[in-house]
Chain A
Amino acid sequence: MTEVVATNETILVVGGGISGMTAALEAAETGKKVVLVEKRPYLGGRVSQLYKYFPKLCHPTCGLEINQRRAKMNPNLTIVTMAEVTNIEGEAGAYTATVKLSPRYVNDNCTGCGDCARAVEAEFDDEYNYGMSKRKGAYLPHVMAHPMQYVIDPRIVGSDDGQKAKAACKYDAVDLDMQEREIKFPAGAVIWATGWQPYDAAKIQPYGYDRFDNVITNVEFERMADPKGPTGGKIVRKDGKEAKNVAFIQCAGSRDRNHLYHCSRICCMASLKQTHYVVDAYEDAKVTIYYIDIRAIDRFEDFYQTVKAMDNVTFVKSKVANVITDKEGNPICRGVDTEGYHRYENTHDLVVLATGMEPSVAKGDFPVDIVINREGFIEPDAANGGVFAAGSASDALDVNRAVQHATGAALKAIQVVNRVARAEA
């Protein structure tokens, strides 16, 4: 496992999604030593699970490839995956971080050849596809995963499958005796970039996500559109029926005191983008977007106008009251179009919940003293010392705003370690 060499001039970046990667790379490319700690077995975070970006409809993996290449090439950057920061003590310029390393059961010998995966039989829900498909008990999380190393699922470690994986590896890369361990190292400044998670749609009871197969979330829909995803890029329901008549329910969890107080900012644009997926997939597609306000902020406005102009897309200003299903399992959205008061009961093939962004770290779970607001996002505050939020840990942000914010966070951290350097010089 990667050795962490660090000093008080080192910048610790917590979280290896787009924000954490950006902050880490910008600092490292300015000559600073950076340790990047990521909980997943690979970098890229949620962005690696997106098929396209709005508004350009380009591919997130394109930017990810560049960023991963930057990461591979940069000697200033140490990446630690499957690791979580459990404690940060000290003050700006002199922190000590405690990091818990979960066993990957695969060491750096791994060449990514895939022999272990072929040998193993057990299958589990694939997290990368939000459980919509299965993966082996020994697996490469996704085809662009960096580090390009396999992972052994802890659930097969004590089993025959675990032994098969070990036996299959010609390079002695499978190490079933690996244990969880803890490391401590110093850092001068900390960038907190733990990002977001999709709000648990099952909690939005009126929409029946936990009851109806054909009510899914926007992050699941995103995987569905991806040719690498669980349906090979086909917009289809679990029962195989083509989903041509798709409803998007905005603010599924956002702007709602029952769920998330805040507006998650991205969901309007995400649904407009996903509307393109449907319209591109089927000539006779029909899309309905139920919304309270369409928030296509500033430069994204024309993207909204383009979708609005499509003949087969309907916008309904209404928070859907509830979803029921008919006997064929078709979801029916019920509610009132508030523009002029029209009651509706619309049957769709598929309902996509535009679920919002929830901070990944729960309010009480920060391993460091930090000022948060009621939504659980980190507020910039002098009391945070040398800890700086980057990206969606600070607010519900889209990718470009997250990158922008993370770039600034890198400078904030550099200011601290430069002060340390000047003091030590």
Chain B
Amino acid sequence: MAKREYSFYPGCSSQKGASSSNYLVSVQTMCEELDIQLNEIPDWNCCSASIGYAGGGELPRLALSARNIALSEEHNPGQEIVATCAACWLATRETQERLQHDQGLLAETNTALAEAGLTLKNDAPIKHMAEVLIQDIGYDAIGAKVKKPLEGIKIAGYVGCQTNRPFGIAGESYENPKYLDKLVETLGADSIPDYEKKVQCCGGALAFSEPEKSQVMIKGIIEAAYDHGADMIVTPCPVCQMNVEVYQDQINATHGTKFKMPVVYYSTLMAVAYGRSAKDAALNGQVIPAKQLEALAGK
């Protein structure tokens, strides 16, 4: 298989010492195994993650993502842009589409970008890493690399919001996407196809400002996973991962629950299934350890 190259937009949370730095580690491991080369967009900036709206108007927010696309087009020409973070992917793709449909806004955006000597062509395809896996690599190729099937592990596929809406993965429904389940099965684990909270919002955007409200939603997500006998939850979104994982103690304190549900990235699962070390799989990044995966990785 020839090496695949993508222009990579890691996003703020993937940076070293940031909340999903573990995501990046496992993604890098996964890409090594799948012969994917990620060329980071030089000097990328924050996308404002659909929360910058109080301070930033429409055009400034569009300009953020436009700058990233323009940088990619300049430095990684001809390469599809790939993001691992749902919010990054969404903001970038949304910007691209809005500017494709509104020539006036596009002109203004380019005027702004010119201040930094940039021009936006706006035609580089923008993908989520999940699309790369499903559409470019395919389940068969993903499965072929499995060295340690995740046998006996029951995993709830939690897709969340922004990886799923409004764009989602081609061929999947907004209400009942199945690709995480398929991936889980491909890696040899047991999926929970009728996990009813797979697209429930975790309230990530309001986790800081309205913690009580978002934690009620998180509680439902974890509870349903337990109801289905899940050993862990897998997600493609760094906001979801963090939100669902790290507040469990608080939720336990508030609601009297006894949650201790590991929440992992698909890339973590893949790194383990591909026989890589716990470190390569970033299992040390779990606030709630995924013990079954640790055991498997340690074998």
Contacts and interface: CB of A to CB of B under 8 A. Distances in A.
Q: Do chains A and B touch in the complex (CB under 8 A)?
A: yes
Interface of A: 205-206, 208, 210-211, 322, 324
B32 interface: no
Contacts of B210: none
B173 interface: yes
Interface in B129-165: none
A206 B196 contact: no
Contacts of B173: 205
13 contacts: A205-B173, A205-B174, A205-B175, A205-B176, A206-B174, A206-B175, A208-B175, A208-B176, A210-B176, A211-B176, A211-B194, A322-B175, A324-B196
Nearest to A203: B173
Contacts of B175: 205-206, 208, 322
Contacts of A205: 173-176
Interface string B159-202: 00000000000000111100000000000000000101000000
A256 to B, nearest CB: 14
B147 to A, nearest CB: 34
A211 B175 CA distance: 11
Contacts of A206: 174-175
A407 B176 CA distance: 46
A206 B176 CA distance: 9
Interface in B185-233: 194, 196
Q: By DSSP majority rule, is chain B's interface helix, strand, loop, or mixed?
A: loop
Given A206-B175, A211-B194, 11 more contacts: A205-B173, A205-B174, A205-B175, A205-B176, A206-B174, A208-B175, A208-B176, A210-B176, A211-B176, A322-B175, A324-B196
A209 B27 CA distance: 36
Contacts of B194: 211
A322 B194 CA distance: 15
A210 B176 CA distance: 10
Interface of B: 173-176, 194, 196
Query: Which 10 residue pairs of A and B lie closest in terms of their CB atoms, listed nearest first?
Result: A205-B175, A205-B173, A206-B175, A205-B174, A205-B176, A324-B196, A211-B176, A322-B175, A211-B194, A208-B175
Contacts of A211: 176, 194
Contacts of B196: 324
Most A CB within 10 A of own CB, among B173, B174, B194? B173
A205 B178 CA distance: 13
A425 B104 CA distance: 65
A208 B199 CA distance: 14
A410 B73 CA distance: 61
A238 to B, nearest CB: 17
Contacts of A324: 196
B102 to A, nearest CB: 19
A207 to B, nearest CB: 9
B224 to A, nearest CB: 11
Most B CB within 10 A of own CB, among A205, A206, A210, A324? A205
B196 to A, nearest CB: 6
A425 to B, nearest CB: 59
A316 to B, nearest CB: 21
Contacts of A210: 176
A14 B76 CA distance: 57
B41 to A, nearest CB: 33
Contacts of A322: 175
A92 B253 CA distance: 80
Nearest to A211: B176
Nearest to B196: A324
A211 B173 CA distance: 12
Contacts of A208: 175-176
A323 to B, nearest CB: 10
A210 B174 CA distance: 14
Nearest to B173: A205
A65 to B, nearest CB: 43
A204 to B, nearest CB: 9
A149 B131 CA distance: 52
B218 to A, nearest CB: 18
Contacts of B176: 205, 208, 210-211
A208 B175 CA distance: 8
A210 B194 CA distance: 12
A309 to B, nearest CB: 36
Nearest to A324: B196
A206 B165 CA distance: 13
B95 to A, nearest CB: 22
A170 B194 CA distance: 52
Contacts of B174: 205-206
Nearest to A206: B175
A241 B158 CA distance: 33
